[in-house]
Structure 1
Amino acid sequence: MLPMSRKRVVAGAAALVIGALALSACASQRGGETEGEGSADVDGTFVFGASADPASLDPAFAQDGETFRVSRQIFEGLVGTEPGTADPAPLLAESWEVSDDSLSYTFALKKDVTFHDGTPFNAEAVCVNFDRWYNWEGLAASEALGYYYNKLFKGYASSPDTAVYDSCTPDGDDSVTIALKKPFAGFVAALSLPAFGMQSPTALEEYKADEVGGTAEAPTLSEYAMGHPVGTGPYKFDEWSPGEQLTLSSYEDYWGDAGQIDEIIFRVIDDPTARRQALESGSIDGYDLVGPADTAALEEDGYKMVSRPPFTILYLAFNQAVPELQDPKVREALSYAVDKDALISQVLPEGTEKATQFMPPTVNGWNADVTTYDYDPEKAKQLLAEAGYDEANPLALTFNYPVNVSRPYMPDPEQIFTVLSKQLNEVGVETTPKSNEWGEYLDLITGGTDHGIHLLGWTGDYNDTDNFLGVFFGQKSAEWGFDNPELFSALTDARGIADLDEQTQVYSDINEQVAEFIPGVPLAHPAPTLAFDPRVESYPASPVNDEVFSEIVLTK
């Protein structure tokens, strides 16, 4: 048990079941003993097929899964997750205490930990990181770069009235107190995000980590973010050839168990078929986001498969900066036009669940009685007619989607686009497709207004409602293009409620508020699947992708 004055327990998280590769063969905690057949004399090079390059080597300036997969090997935060769940657990902080007013958090830090460049990890280093985020300005403080800090901490030194963070105070080397200006019930859980991993103060300064340029639509990253990431994790950065591969190697002075793998190669293979062929040829040891059609065939051929529990949301978003989408009847019509069951059966993985709201059922505040817009093409046509659209004057929208990428919530964006655009066309909506490569796509959707309806989604980072609803709808966003002060205020108030029962009801009501407002269509909760060479005895699958490769167990 953690020495906390309050500890939230979210029903259902402990019941998440990991698939065919049982966690029992893995270390129960990061830094614990790893055992398994063949623990000696194994090939210590592990090649993983990545669907894309990381967007940045600085996780503070990132928001995507491929970046975070790499980051979790290099960086560690004060807080991690309990194996197999989305719940917080000690990592660089061994314990923490919360003040009665929920505005002060004191963390007891792990001792004798160093960053990869030899810089000591201590309370001062923690404060350098927190103060770095708080003092961002300009592009660094934008949603396009500082995405998670922007979403969760709401403000900076330049905007103290909206900021959640107040100060960081070292209490000697091994204890640190973080003070908040406003209650944030999910604060501890949020610290498990790779975006809040601890980074070497020495390297941040030497390689000018915060010198970013360009625009929100096309940012340019710092020297640090392109080639000098320094954390405390089990692996250190070696080299990166964008578009080809990224290599990490074991950090000899790592505080925990080094595991069996001493070199990781993330090989970029953007095509799902090519990733499968690479596994079958033996050129990679495993990959994520296995296509639905490939899962059974690979299993029959002896490859090890593991499916993460669905902790995802795939959605069709409506950008209300587009005048036509400001009409509630239009948004309602588009909702009735979508056949979610057909979409799931045609192109999404086995185990995918239909979505009724913008978060999975296991998250606190999910509303079983929420308003839904079940597939009804005639109703869609009627609403479009009431909004002034018909065959002579059809509703015409740009439909944005990414290409050459697979995401846990979106294994094949082009297939999903094809199905949905056909459904919309059947009710008289004319869609103009516009596609972009993944990095450009994220910049377009989150950094500008020049997009229409679009595909995006989310893999939950930790088990807290604010990580879903708060991230999507907690403040004005370029992605959604609307200004709804009532909704923003409700979410701001909810994230500060410490009593779980009270917060559950509030979030349930907010889910209904979102459903009636119709910012988009929550489509599905896909279940991502990974495939591995038979030499992989155990893989530490996590619903929030908190998977550190030092915990992989190999047999040869």
Structure 2
Amino acid sequence: MARKLIISTTALAAAAALALSGCSSGGGGGAPAAEGQKGGTLKVLANGDVDHLDPQLTAYVPVNGVIRTVSRSILSYKSSNDEKTRIELAGDLATEVPEASDGGKTYTIKLRDGVTWDAPGGSRPIVAEDVARGIKRICNPKISAALGGYFTGLIEGMDTFCAGFAKVKPEIAPMKDYIEKNRISGIETPDEKTVVFKLTEPASDFTSMLSLPTANPAPIEVLDYLPDSPEYRNNFISSGPYKISAYKPDASMDLVRNPSWKADSDPLRKAYVDEIKMTMGLEDDAAMQQLQAGSADLLFDIQPSPANIQQLKTANDQKLTTMANGGVDQFMWINTKTSNNGGALQKPEVREALQYAIDKPAVVQVMGGPDIATVTNGIFGPGINGYEDFAPYGDKSGKADPEKAKALLKQAGVTNLKLKLPYRNLGAQPDIAQTVQASLEKAGITVELFPVPPTDYYANFMTNPSNAKDGKWDVALVGWSPDWVGGAARSVFQPQFTFNGTPQSYNYVDYNNDEANALAAKALAASTPEEAGKIWHQVDETVMKDSPIVSIVARKKANYHSERVQNFEIYALAQNGDWTNVWLKK
């Protein structure tokens, strides 16, 4: 998906178990020292700017690292290099992770003492109404939150609130007036320390959604600015351990200590460094050279290239880490709406033949080898609660079986199968497309490759439903990264593999399976993560029986840091080291 791919490279997006593999994190990996060293300036290098600085609006995975420094979340995660620890929800503004009541439809949040805004008039407590205000801002008519759809249909009365908000003129005064005069019926604030969320249906992953910046509280002052406008950014009110001291779009961002932040109110951030300076506009290789030379420390939206990774691995550089991000990138959608080839792709045996025809290990090698890619066989990537290493077709290795594919095509009565495969002329995508083409041709399938500009691939080509219906493509390579971590199966399944009559952008063929939908509802109502995970795996199995996609590869996220960075531990939502918990070797 466009958004998710941007997030994960980008993502994003997004996100999952983040299992640490490859090298351990030198200069700070492994067990942290008993006590970190305070002081110094952390230097971060970036290629681009933040997508949004407004927490409600951001949907770009690297930006979660920035938001972590300046904005407190309701729930969050402890930074850790242990794959299980870092996806365990923890209280941030909330005193603890709440348990559902009312049959899984009510969650009560208790805010901890000592959490404050660095407000213009002086330090001020964060209260329940700030939480409600943050949720209200999700569907503002000027620029709505990319991840807001998860909340809109789930919190009782929020769809009604948002429908009314959509009619408001997208200007400061009327938007402020609407937010202040209207409530969401499913959000109650009985006192300044208590927020009660009432849901339309049980949702075991609602607490995971509360870890997203989308759900962060908002101070009253932000209503005096258009969302994420230059004025908003220049007057950003911090609740985290750092605040913005200077910001030049597409050039730099400087963070300094927030004097109103209290260390004893924050169980997740130690705030060792005094300042954080992010410099933008760096190319990947130049940024890596600076980190290796020690003139900079961390990367924002840049990661080592496959060539960098091979060099660092050869040198046994312990400052390199790789991690699964929960996404599947690549997988191949099969167009069941086209009448091309006499509607052959609508036949289950033909789609099953494609499952056996793809040489997945070959794609892994093209993407840089097993250091940064692993074979997948289902809709969920490693780390999603519900992921299991299973093989509905062939074996877990993902090796092609062209003879099996030919036999299935013969069984279906299909000969001379010719497929149109679009690809993005970007990075390794042409090589991946050619590798898939070669696999399919070994099974007797002719593949016509044609390039689509990278900026148009998702935005205009894949998400245009007429292109599927009119047979402009037969199979297409895409990727997806979940929107949150751990219990994130909904954010993979719902946008891509459900259809209720209203087209979804990234369900390219309006795929739907009532049995899978029923299982998903059961998983969301599960009382424990273990129970939910087992049911989500059944969802995976059920979808894959239909073969709407061929799952091929999960890409790992590579991270690198300078020699002086200590305690480099992963913050799950950012898929990178936690800026608020590293310290600098002096």
Q: What TM-score results when the alignment is normalised by the length of structure 2?
A: 0.73
Residue 24 of structure 2 is matched in structure 1 by 19
Residue 397 of structure 1 is matched in structure 2 by 421
In 2, the alpha carbon distance for the partners of 1:59 and 1:420 equals 39
Match status 1:372 vs 2:393: yes
Equivalent residue letter for 1:249: V
1:79 corresponds to which of 66, 72, 75:
75
In 1, the alpha carbon distance for the partners of 2:286 and 2:126 equals 41
Alignment check: 8 A CA contact 1:333 1:381 kept: yes
1:259 corresponds to which of 242, 262, 272:
272
Alignment check: 8 A CA contact 1:166 1:181 kept: no
What is the CA-CA distance between 1:62 and the residue it aligns to?
3.5
1:232 corresponds to which of 233, 236, 239:
239
Instruction: Deviation per CA, 1:311-351: give whole Å up to 9, x if none.
Output: 44323242748625962555444433321111213323516
The correspondence of residues 54-453 of structure 1 with structure 2, limited to 5 A, is: 54-84=50-80, 85-95=86-96, 96-118=98-120, 120-133=125-138, 136=140, 140=144, 146=148, 148-149=150-151, 156-158=158-160, 167-203=186-222, 205-209=223-227, 229-238=236-245, 240-256=247-263, 257-269=270-282, 271-287=283-299, 289-298=303-312, 300=315, 304-309=319-324, 311-318=326-333, 320=335, 323=338, 327-329=346-348, 331-348=351-368, 349-350=370-371, 352-367=373-388, 369-372=390-393, 374=398, 375-380=400-405, 394-400=418-424, 403=426, 413=429, 415-424=431-440, 427-437=445-455, 443-444=459-460, 448-449=464-465, 453=476
Alignment check: 8 A CA contact 2:158 2:185 kept: no
Instruction: Deviation per CA, 1:71-98: give whole Å up to 9, x if none.
Output: 3333221101133221101101112353
In 1, the alpha carbon distance for the partners of 2:328 and 2:464 equals 22
In 1, the alpha carbon distance for the partners of 2:258 and 2:498 equals 39
Distance 1:386 1:60, change over 3 A: farther
Alignment check: 8 A CA contact 2:18 2:326 kept: no
Alignment check: 8 A CA contact 1:474 1:491 kept: no
What is the CA-CA distance between 1:106 and the residue it aligns to?
1.5
Distance 1:279 1:368, change over 3 A: closer
Alignment check: 8 A CA contact 2:568 2:582 kept: yes
Instruction: Deviation per CA, 1:448-506: give whole Å up to 9, x if none.
Output: 54685232231562211334334543555211221415134432342122255553443
Give SS of 2:570's match: coil
For structure 2, the 5+ residue unaligned runs are 1-15, 81-85, 164-183, 264-269
For structure 1, the 5+ residue unaligned runs are 1-11, 27-33, 210-220, 405-411
Greater displacement, 51-60 / 325-334? 325-334
Greater displacement, 49-58 / 316-325? 316-325
Greater displacement, 106-115 / 466-475? 466-475
In 1, the alpha carbon distance for the partners of 2:435 and 2:552 equals 12
Identity between Structure 1 and Structure 2 (%): 21
Number of residue-to-residue matches in the alignment: 504
Greater displacement, 257-266 / 416-425? 416-425
Residue 212 of structure 1 is matched in structure 2 by none
The correspondence of residues 405-554 of structure 1 with structure 2, limited to 5 A, is: 413=429, 415-424=431-440, 427-437=445-455, 443-444=459-460, 448-449=464-465, 453-458=476-481, 461-464=484-487, 465-474=489-498, 477-481=504-508, 482-484=510-512, 486=514, 487-500=516-529, 502-545=531-574, 547-554=577-584
In 2, the alpha carbon distance for the partners of 1:279 and 1:509 equals 44
Greater displacement, 324-333 / 534-543? 324-333
Alignment check: 8 A CA contact 2:116 2:126 kept: yes
Alignment check: 8 A CA contact 1:239 1:247 kept: yes
Match status 1:43 vs 2:73: no
Distance 1:281 1:291, change over 3 A: same
Distance 1:319 1:120, change over 3 A: farther
What is the CA-CA distance between 1:528 and the residue it aligns to?
2.0
Instruction: Deviation per CA, 1:224-256: give whole Å up to 9, x if none.
Output: 777665442223335555544444333232233
Instruction: Deviation per CA, 1:339-396: give whole Å up to 9, x if none.
Output: 11112133235164321212245544334555125523345466668889766x7322
In 2, the alpha carbon distance for the partners of 1:390 and 1:545 equals 47
Distance 1:502 1:262, change over 3 A: closer
In 2, the alpha carbon distance for the partners of 1:361 and 1:302 equals 25
Q: What TM-score results when the alignment is normalised by the length of structure 1?
A: 0.77
Give SS of 1:521's match: strand
What is the CA-CA distance between 1:267 and the residue it aligns to?
2.5
In 2, the alpha carbon distance for the partners of 1:72 and 1:535 equals 22
What is the CA-CA distance between 1:174 and the residue it aligns to?
1.6
In 2, the alpha carbon distance for the partners of 1:92 and 1:130 equals 15
In 1, the alpha carbon distance for the partners of 2:276 and 2:331 equals 39
RMSD over aligned CA atoms reads: 3.9
In 2, the alpha carbon distance for the partners of 1:314 and 1:321 equals 21
Give SS of 1:477's match: coil
